[in-house]
Structure 1
Amino acid sequence: MAEVQPQQSNTEVVGQADSAVQNADAPIEVICGPLLNYKSMHFEPSALWNGSVLIVTNPGQRQPQMIVRQVGPVSENAQANGALSNRQPIIIDGLKLYEDPQKAFWRFSIPVPLEAYEARWEYDIPGFQYTSSELTRTSWNFVVPSVNQSMRIMFHSCNGFSVGTDMDVWVGPNLWNDVLRVHAQKPFHVMVGGGDQIYNDSIRVDGPLKEWTEIANPHKRRNHDFNEEMRAACDKYYYANYIRWYSHEPFKAANGQIPQVNIWDDHDIIDGFGSYTDHFMKCAVFRGIGGVAFKYYCLFQHHIAPPKSTFTTDAPETMRAVNGTSGADPRQLKDTFVLENQVEDESWILGKRPGPYVEEISRNLYMRMGKRIGFIGIDARTERTRHQVNYPDTYEAIFSRLEREVTAAKGDIKHLVLLLGVPIAYPRLAWLENILSSPLIAPIRLMNKRFGFAGGLFNQFDGQVDLLDDLDDHYTAKHHKRERRVFIQRLQQFSKAHSIRVTILGGDVHLAAIGRFYSNPKLGIQCENDHRYMVNVISSAITNKPPPKAVANLLAQRNKLHHLDSETDETLMNMFDQQPGGVEKSSASNKVTMPSRNYASITEIESSNDANAEGASFQLPKDGHSPLHQGEVGAGTSHLAADGISSQGDMNGGLNISIQVEIDPHRKGGPTEGYGFCIPALKAQVNAPGTRPKSSPQ
């Protein structure tokens, strides 16, 4: 059969609703969706919000259309004051991104104007009909901030289950019910996924990599082909797993009404991808699944067309990247349509060269999250090896983009939210690295190979100690120490130069914590004036099981004072003043790590009870084991920010941070206990003590 050709009308068209909707009675047979994404925001020359909606349908469907209309202001006060623009509904034609004999992916690009009020928009797809009777159609809407408002951000990570999780204990993704509860009270404008939005690890347990994983000889595993037959089987697995998970309630409901922004991490591919030994990571099977995972990451998580083909060992075209993407394989394109020649979305910061194990360039993100918040999401997986997180030229591209955007914003941006796949202000585990990689482990490894002794200690891929890939993922790992230090110092310079507060989001570790960098208290700098004060909000996992209490308590014991350099200290903050709902999760003495499922909320502080009292008289502590400013005083369940909703506080222009912690995994509603504190806006003082300029790190 010849290659499927695009329809003549296969372009995204936005028009007024007085245009006729095409064949409105003909059904659109939908397999999955709608999935809502946030893309970008502009304030000049006109104020505009851009997003997208993705649906997956049966192949051969007519071109679907979407109707988007404004419902009105979210606030009853705004409605009472007559704040309504009476905008006309909009019709948007779907754009086909990909189609093969089993499925088709359609994107609707949604531009809506920003109003003087926070506005709710609803959308509908005429003829929308699920192919599965198990899926229920509901009404869909989303909320856009006002033209003068910063976004309310929900942050999550590790949204799935590791292989072997006891599902009798860790029942379903219940915490998404609590997300929807909070969203109903005070809407989130965006939900940020910090990686592992889906867990694809079972591909090696009951999927097409099972036989390969069971090959005992490491040399044979490394040299195993990844041919078209294996690629097609893995493609089928990844697609089916995405459909299963993204159709699972209540995650499905959240996807239809809170716009997503995502980066990927290892489990979006397979556990540990990028952090095994280099010679093993370069094997054909790992390169092959990296390509297939990237294909569906593009489609489901970013609503962009995938590469035309992905890596196989029997198609030379795919074995080297061409113009930053895998070459085209005629066999993979048979009976298949892939959208080409699309202008890259403006939110991307693209890498300069392909990753070492995936034949694709990295895709980092920049976007405005409302009036006063800029956002950067760093792709820390495509370029990752055991010895690097990102290429130096990727950091250059990121900071160049930041400089351009901040200049264009003309002083409006007061906060930069930086998304990383793993924490960067976190307890050191070098002692554990040293033990697990020491000669002491060698005899045990030999017994494992010969007799299966200590089978749970070693991974099934490269024979290394299973924890090592997780430890090597961390910025605090010995391999990444210099890269981490240079990165943080460069963020400090950016923060100081533009008087922008940097706040970092990180997940991966399956517990909640608050890390922070700050100026050595001996320098006498109040946090409101401290460009080195950067909080790392660690929120993980929203769905996966937490680590044992003993692990969380051990990490708390390792919460030492560390020195990034002579002027910058770091440590975790005392945040968890009591156990959630009175249910014991960790030791009574552990105030810094919380081993329970959780997610985070970030809300800009809109007003101040006493703006003149912001930290001016705060007595700096001797070290970071005590509160560093007024917003950290009383951090925990009694703090004003703990409810995940409040936009009030004494830190005018700052950010309220809340960690919502699950109380009992068996309760379907996912009730949580909230823990809060706030981050002050930055008022950098160039001539303040300890702020002498440094040369740019190389």
Structure 2
Amino acid sequence: MQYLNAIPSRPVPEPSIFTPKLYVKCGPLLRYVGLRLDSVSQIAAKRGHVPTAKKEREVWRGTVMMVTVDDRSSFNPAPRLRLFAQSIEFLTGTREPAGRRDSASRLWRKKDGEKQQKYKDVVGTRLLHERGVTWWRFTIEIELTDKQARIAYRINRGPSIAFWVPAREETMNIMFHSCNGFSLGINPATFCGPDPMWRDALQAHRRKPFHVMIGGGDQVYNDAVAEQTTLFREWLLTKNPLHKYSAEWTDELSDELENFYLERYCDWFSQGLFGVANSQIPMVNIWDDHDIIDGFGSYPSHFNGCPVFSGLGRIAQKHYLLFQHHTRVYENESHEPSWIMGAEPGPYITERSRSIFMFMGRKVAFLGLDCRTERQRDVIVTPETYRLVFDRARREIVTGVTKHLIVLLGIPIAYPRLVWLENLLTSRLMDPLKALARMNVLGGLLNSFDGGVEILDDLDDHWTAKSHKAERNAFVKQLQHLAAEKSVRITVLGGDVHLSGIGQFYSNPQLGLPKERDHRYMPNVISSAIVNAPPPNAMADVLNKRNKVHHLDDYTDEDMYPMFPVDVDGKPRGNKRLMPRRNYCTLGEYDSNQDPEVEELSKASSRIGIPKFLRSSTQKKGTGLSGKSKQDIIVRPQGANAVDALEVILRVEVNQKNPDGATKPYRLIIPPLTTQSYDATAST
């Protein structure tokens, strides 16, 4: 685990800090599962009261999960989570010295819900018990108020941890990231380990709190299963294809892989600044191949479907659901309404896919599409599942109220074409090179899975691959129909490619549609990677040269938007469309005026400084980046205010050799969609 060794370990909490005692192996992990609108009249009726007015209350729903070591913990009674409000003034207060009372200490007591005996205790549910550990899930609900709120929680009287929920009807402040780990063969020290971008993100969270953290795939890199196992590695190295594909799935192999995924998740999700973020910012995740193993689903069917490889997929899915969704494979829409279950079990994992639909504020809906469970070499999502997804979106989106729909796909859908490379790697011209590689003359050309060319699975993964072209085009047209029908602006999020950029679909300029009335205008925000190594500049330049205006049909064009006219040092760039630097993204409602709450939070943060775990050795106390005040790096949108517009900021790493993680912001304003009427034939 080379890159895990690069993470500064957090001390494991001693059981004595919890009462009753707990030995926490992983967590706590915080997850957001959606908003629920409750009619006040319905609530009054349940309580036997006569309602006086029709109103709605907005309820934030989420879960907290942790893994405990059984023989070092006490579960009598079951673990309890205490939930209470803890306003921002609490950060500036101090404990009252003995024999002294002053206004500051009274303010501290007054603003802390637990001190006022205003709290709620939630008993943990035993989600799973095996291998000497127990997964505990705490289900929490919070009624939103007129202001965003800081909510704290503690488990078994342990240390308190806080997160933020938005105000009622407020659009959430969103963070988006992908590719949260290092590929095999990458030296983490070259990039100061995995923490720099997370350090910057947590500093941004202190200036203006994130209400949700979207993971776009590869939240954990499990490719090391090919190197850090015994039985599975022996199977991978089997030369005879017949023996390899017919090998039986054994209890011993299952036990080895269960142990690998358990330990990998517990290590990666609890350590470093990513572990800190997991406990303070509610997550919403969709998986991609590295959450399983590199390329899963994009290899030939005879390999993907063989007993050993499909068995690995099932174990990876089990742990993905446990750690990233706090659920078990048997739970479905009846247990959690944010799920959209696939129509039929997938071909290799043999379980139904799980897409997500929820709201991130009244005006912003979110759809996370599971593009891995049903994936085959020529299929990403089946037509029957697409139908379920779009039916759900049409039921949930409220015309005139829902202004934006964010669609999360693991891989960009508007991206430079690489079909020419696919054609080369699959042509007979490669046969002599493949023969040399099988004789170990050209090491690294072929993968150890199915013996194919190493990067071919990555190309087959892309929406723009020739095997997915028809499905991709049909999907884009369905999104256009939905946008026009519901008058909702659709923005796509994608990761995977270790570059940042903005792809875009838009109406043929000859149609003369302004952007705010163009239902075909659909930006694809590409943010990758927050941890993994970016490609060389030369590769990004090759991709940039492949960029041109493509014609989806007679009405729709697509290309890459020139998002990066200058580099992080302010110098002009030749490649204005793709940025090969580590990065993450933020999304929120555009406002040309500084939010007073953010300004106040910034002042409070300046007074208390930045905690040591957020400062690298080169940072000064009380500053965000080396030598810069926190106010200097607050992002303030420029230009005229656009009502209900969405602001997207790509935050790009300035220097990969500096552990500070300083970033430069690149901003895009996405207008809402205004359509007068919907004509299905015109949008085709």
Shorter-chain TM band? 0.7 to 0.9
Aligned residue number for residue 41 of structure 1: 35
Q: Is 2:172 the partner of 1:172? A: no
2:292 maps to 1:262? no
Paired residue for 1:70?
A: 85
Partner of residue 566, structure 1: 554
Q: Map Cα deviations across residues 573-624 of structure 1 (whole Å, 9 max, x no partner).
A: 1111222246x9xx93101001111000001024689xxxxxxxxxxxxxxx
User: How far has the Cα of 1:58 moved from its partner?
Assistant: 1.1
SS of the equivalent of 1:515 reads strand
Alignment partner of 1:200 is 2:210: no
User: Is 1:420 equivalent to 2:409 in the alignment?
Assistant: yes
1:433 aligns with 2:422: yes
Letter in 2 for 1:457: L
1:157-209 alpha-carbon deviations (Å, 9 max, x no partner): 00011111122312321210000010000001101000000000011122242
1:89 aligns with 2:80: no
Query: How far apart are residue 646 of structure 1 and its match?
Result: 3.9
Measure how far apart 1:218 and its partner are. 2.3
Q: Aligned to 1:169, what secondary structure does the other structure show?
A: helix
2:25 matched residue in structure 1: 31
- 1:458 lines up with 2:446 in the alignment: yes
| Residues 18 and 155 in structure 2, CA contact (< 8 A), matched pair in contact too | no
Q: Hey, which of these two has a bigger chunk of helix by percent?
A: 2
Tell me how far apart the structure 1 counterparts of residues 516 and 683 of structure 2 sit (CA, whole Å): 24
The alpha carbon displacement at 1:647 in A equals: 6.2
Match of 1:693 in 2: 680
CA contact (8 A) 1:428 1:476 kept: yes
- Give the deviation of 1:87 after TM superposition: 9.4
Measured at CA, do residues 355 and 391 of structure 1 come closer, stay the same or move farther in structure 2, by a change above 3 Å? same
Secondary structure in 2 aligned to 1:168? helix
Name structure 2 gaps, 5 residues minimum: 1-16, 40-56, 92-106, 595-631
User: Retained in 2: the 8 A contact 1:374–1:417?
Assistant: yes
| Amino acid of the structure 1 residue aligned with 2:577 | V
Indicate how the Cα distance of structure 1 residues 438 and 644 shifts in structure 2: closer, same or farther if over 3 A, else same. farther
Q: Which position in structure 2 is the counterpart of 1:230?
A: 253
Which structure 1 segments of 5+ residues have no match? Answer: 1-22, 129-137, 308-339, 610-641
TM-score (structure 1 length as normaliser) = 0.81
Partner of 1:135: none
**Matched ranges for 1:474-493 at <5 A:** 474-493=462-481
Shift of 1:411: 3.1
Partner of 2:340: 349
- CA distance in 2: counterparts of 1:123 and 1:588, whole angstroms: 47
Other structure's SS at 1:364 match: strand
Change (3 A) 1:696 1:673: closer
Deviations 1:621-680 (A, max 9, x none): xxxxxxxxxxxxxxxxxxxxx968446753221011111111222322211111112101
Q: Which residue of the partner structure matches residue 600 of structure 1?
A: 585
| Per-residue Cα deviation, 1:385-405 (whole angstroms, up to 9, x for no partner) | 010100111111111111111
1:109 equivalent in structure 2: 139
Could you tell me how far apart the structure 2 residues matched to 1:41 and 1:298 are? 20
Name the SS of the counterpart of 1:188 in structure 2.
Answer: coil
Q: 1:84 Cα deviation (Å)?
A: 11
- In structure 1, what is the Cα distance between the partners aligned to 2:667 and 2:633? 7
Q: 1:474 to 1:439 in 2, by over 3 A?
A: same
Counterparts of 1:120 and 1:295, CA distance in 2: 32
Q: Is the 8 A contact 2:414 2:558 kept in 1?
A: yes
- Residue in 2 that maps onto 1:56: 67
CA contact (8 A) 1:59 1:101 kept: no
Counterpart CA distance in 2 for 1:596 and 1:657 is 17
What is the Cα deviation at residue 344 of structure 1? 2.1
Residues 371 and 222 from structure 1, CA distance in 2 versus in 1: closer, same or farther, beyond 3 angstroms? same
Counterpart in the other structure of 1:626: none
1:452/1:40 CA distance change after superposition, 3 Å: same
Counterpart selection for 1:294 from 293, 317, 321: 317
Query: Partners of 2:399 and 2:119 in 1: how far apart?
Result: 33
Write out per-residue CA displacement over residues 296-341 of structure 1, whole angstroms, 9 at most, x where no aligned residue.
Answer: 001100001245xxxxxxxxxxxxxxxxxxxxxxxxxxxxxxxx89
Are residue 149 (structure 1) and residue 137 (structure 2) matched? Answer: no
Q: Distance in 2 between matches of 1:59 and 1:288?
A: 27
After superposition, what is the alpha-carbon deviation per residue over 1:126-153, rounded to whole angstroms, capped at 9, x for unaligned?
Answer: 254xxxxxxxxx6411111101210111
Q: Deviations over 1:254-303 (max 9, x none)?
A: 00100000000000000000000111111111111001101100110000
The residue type paired with residue 187 of structure 1 is P
- Specify which of 550, 553, 572 is matched with residue 538 of structure 2: 550
2:464 corresponds to 1:473: no
Q: Distance in 2 between matches of 1:414 and 1:260?
A: 23
| Equivalent-residue separation in structure 2 for 1:434 and 1:271 (angstroms) | 21
Question: In the alignment, does 2:464 pair up with 1:442?
Answer: no
SS in structure 1 of the partner of residue 86 of structure 2: strand
Query: Per-residue deviation at 1:569?
Result: 0.3
Cα distance in 1 between the residues matched to 2:446 and 2:524? 31
* 1:108 alignment partner, SS class: strand
CA shift at 1:213, angstroms? 1.6
Change (3 A) 1:28 1:236: same
User: For residues 218 and 492 of structure 1, do their structure 2 counterparts lie closer, same or farther at Cα, with a shift above 3 Å needed?
Assistant: same
**2:541 aligns to what SS in structure 1?**
helix
Q: 1:134 maps to which residue?
A: none
* Cα distance in 1 between the residues matched to 2:293 and 2:682: 40
Amino acid at match of 1:415: H
Secondary structure of the 1:176 match is helix
Q: Does structure 1 residue 391 correspond to structure 2 residue 421?
A: no
**Match for residue 179 of structure 2?**
158
CA separation of 1:369/1:693 partners in 2, compared to 1, >3 Å: closer, same or farther? same
Answer yes or no: is the 8 Å Cα contact 1:266–1:273 preserved in 2.
yes
For 1:365 and 1:377, locate their aligned partners in 2 and report how far apart those are by CA, in whole Å. 5
The one-letter amino acid of 2:661's match is G
* Alignment partners' CA distance in 2, 1:580 and 1:224: 52
Alignment of 1:207-286 (within 5 A): 207-208=229-230, 209-286=232-309
Equivalent residue of 1:536, what SS? strand
- Contact 1:142/1:257 (<8 A) preserved: yes
Residue 627 of structure 1 is matched in structure 2 by none
Per-residue deviation, 1:103 = 0.7
> Secondary structure, in 3 states, of the residue corresponding to 1:179?
helix
Aligned equivalents of 1:84 and 1:145: distance in 2? 18
CA–CA separation in structure 1 for the residues paired with 2:327 and 2:672:
35
> For residues 84 and 162 of structure 1, do their structure 2 counterparts lie closer, same or farther at Cα, with a shift above 3 Å needed?
closer
Partner of 2:204: 182
Question: Structure 1 residues 647 and 416 mapped into 2: Cα distance closer, same or farther (>3 Å)?
Answer: farther
8 Å CA contact retained: 2:483, 2:519: yes
Deviation at 1:443, TM superposition (A): 1.4
Deviations 1:487-535 (A, max 9, x none): 1111111101111000000000011010000001110000000000000
Q: CA RMSD in A?
A: 2.5
Counterpart for residue 130 of structure 2 = 100
SS at structure 2 position matched to 1:600: strand
Provide the secondary structure at the position in 2 that maps to 1:503. Answer: strand
User: 8 Å contact 1:422–1:506 — kept in the other structure?
Assistant: yes
Q: 1:204 to 1:421 in 2, by over 3 A?
A: same
Runs of 4+ in structure 1 deviating by more than 6 angstroms, as ranges, are 73-76, 82-87
In structure 2, the CA distance between the partners of 1:83 and 1:399, relative to structure 1 (3 Å rule), is farther
Work out the CA distance in 2 between the residues paired with 1:146 and 1:369: 11
